[in-house]
A and B are shown apart, each in its own frame.
Chain A
């Protein structure tokens, strides 16, 4: 009996003094870091919405781009909206199928072989290649021979999107359980058929959501378009030939204009671009929530 009472008292309360202070300080610092991030983000979004909302309207989104000296009420960004949609859609049509196919190679065919692992590694590295390099690259191999066009811009954006789509699709294909593949093989299906009719549908939610995020990233990019579409002010519905324009490059051109009208149109274009990126991001989240069968 005496042995029980002799046991030392274990103090389970939070430690006092310097140790507690330091722990509290560290926790406060972590929350502060989050605040440090929210402030500029809020500042940017507030400015873009406040300055953009005053000019944006249906006619702003459809009217032709006026001369820079035109006052804020005149004209709009119609050609740039058209250009951004055309070029991004074309880039998506080029990069997403190739990216998904590449991911299929990495996960279904290459497996853990050296080539597949090397390609996966280089795809990771390629996501870090600056987007302006993609612009210079397409300028060199395409624009110098065939001239400026929306197609050249789409190639540059496609180069940017390709590794992102490969990366995200690869992650999603990894999550598909092997039992699905094995069951299909047991039914006598070929590998291509298993991949297209069983594995892809099982991962489609994640693949679509990853691709939407890649599109959101590409739609806002400026640097790859600078040297590939030339950024004219007239609308060019033909995406395959002739100089084109886009919201991002118009913002870049308007940002260092001294004219208030040009700046206002820049803010309107910025709000449009941010809205496009946000819509794509929210769509990606919705697709993930609704269709993703296997998640991390």
Chain B
């Protein structure tokens, strides 16, 4: 890097070739190194796809498409249907989103529209603390403290709503502290910081002049939010919500501890269930052969789902950010 190559007298000064030829080896080496580090991201993603799919082939060849869509998961009988866990993943992720999104949006609006910037910072720190608490600590708290405490509440809600047509099917008995709902609730706490911070970024792109225009017309703050902030930012907020959905789908350890570990498909949200990351975490250690391959297959499906959700959400966010800049 320190060597300075002498430009030959034949090279005319100022031409483009002369400049590029004069670049020392160290300079070019550094560029290649940086490029390699950048490409590593793509290499890892491709390798994840290839290696895990390879491990899952023996499951796929024994069970086929029918196996993937089967709901029969019984390792003792060599039956590995994936649908129970896909269902559980969808249910817990939806519960998490339904609970986390209104709260996150309200906090994002609080931070951008209500409190002054100086007082917003401590609120941001507190919300971010939710993400600093490790997943396994949420799980430990969930299974040893929260689930025993909440099961009485579930039981009384269940007995109150048991006879009501639709609500009874969702919230009626059987109830248990470790359940779909507990898992969804804890996932909601965990994804709130990311949904809040992304929504806040999106809302911050709303031009100040539009806000002031609405206020000048006599709008209240809430009318301004509905009339100016929402139309400007709902696209980006959809992206933020999708990103939260991706996180909720893949979050493993907290769900593995509090979901109840029961591979059943049921509409009862207060009943124990199972989802894809939880079953991988809980059963991988004692698995082998087709069993292990099936868990790998669940991993491949989870990887595919989260990649799709994430690509989609990032694209939505990027598009709405571009539109904002153009406006």
Contacts and interface: CB of A to CB of B under 8 A. Distances in A.
Contact of B220 (A23, A41, A220): A23
Interface string A182-226: 000000001111011000000000000000000010011111001
B299 A136 contact: yes
Given A26-B222, A126-B45, A141-B47, A44 B137 contact: yes
Contacts, number: 272
Contact of B133 (A33, A44, A106, A130): A44
Contact of A140 (B39, B51, B107): B51
A99 B133 CA distance: 24
Contact of A23 (B24, B134, B223, B285): B223
A104 B223 CA distance: 44
B314 A125 contact: yes
B1 A192 contact: yes
A266 B51 contact: no
Interface residue range, chain B: 35 or more
A123 interface: yes
B253 A252 contact: yes
A274 interface: yes
Interface stretch (A14-22, A59-67, A237-245): A14-22
| Chain B binding surface SS class | helix
Interface stretch (B27-35, B59-67, B163-171): B27-35
A241 to B, nearest CB: 20
Contact of B38 (A34, A106, A256): A106
Interface of B: 1, 23-24, 26-27, 29-31, 33-42, 44-45, 47-48, 51-52, 54-55, 102-104, 106-107, 109-110, 114, 123, 126-127, 129-130, 132-141, 143-146, 189, 192, 218, 220-223, 225, 243, 246-247, 249-253, 256-257, 277, 280-281, 284-285, 296, 299, 302-303, 306-307, 309-311, 313-314, 318
Given A19-B220, A102-B40, 4 more contacts: A30-B110, A44-B141, A102-B41, A162-B40
